[in-house]
Amino acid sequence: MVVTSGAKNDGKKQATSVTKSGVSSVRNVGYDESVATVETLVNLTLTSSAADKIRELQATEPPGEAEVLRVAIQGGGCSGFQYELGFDRGAVEGDHELELHGVRVVVDRFSAPYLDGSTIDWLDGLQESGFKIDNPRAVSSCGCGHSFQVEEADAPEASGACGSGCSH
């Protein structure tokens, strides 16, 4: 079971559990102050403009098909890794689950270390339009901004894989 802490609800923190069966539950935890956790959570930021666009896109999907935004990385692209954003029915075992600006976001355990500290934004201008991910762990990226590279020292080793099916 993975337990992640979420936003406060009436002064109490909420804990979200994702079990092997894929069932998630939210329960209030009786602590009003920060407590130690066993697992490091992914620190991800979603701007309000990105959240607005995600909710707009979710509304166009069939009911039950776009319950969460899944953020992941995969091996590939011209710089080594590429970002993946997509809708999913819900969290699965091992996912980190967050609620940001009213949007449920899930990140798999392999992608979490590579995305830690990242900000997802929505741009709608003359020069750029679309989702943009600002990743402090990226040491280089391609011109399109969808592919990136991390320093070898920053590459997670504990998981044994990067989530892309490779042995990195």
CA distance 25 to 20: 12
CA distances from 123 to 95, 140, 164 (A): 27, 21, 27
- Tens digit of pLDDT at every position of the chain (168 positions): 344 444 444 433 344 545 444 544 444 444 455 543 334 478 999 999 999 999 999 999 999 999 999 999 888 766 678 889 999 999 999 999 999 999 999 999 999 998 999 999 999 998 889 999 888 887 766 655 555 666 665 555 433 444 443 333
User: How would you label 91-101 residue by residue, b for 16+ Cβ within 10 Å and e otherwise?
Assistant: bbeebbbbebe
Q: Taking the complete model, does pTM exceed 0.75, yes or no?
A: no
Tell me the H-state helices in the chain. Answer: 48-58, 112-115
Domains of the chain: residue spans and CATH = 41-154 (2.60.300.12)
Task: Quote the pLDDT of residue 153.
Answer: 52
DSSP annotation of 164 reads S
* Token pair for 168: 């990195």
CB 51 within 8 A of CB 93: no
Which residues lie closer than 8 Å to 51 by C-beta, 6 or more apart? 100, 101, 102, 103
CA distance 84 to 97: 16
14 has which bridge partners? Answer: 28
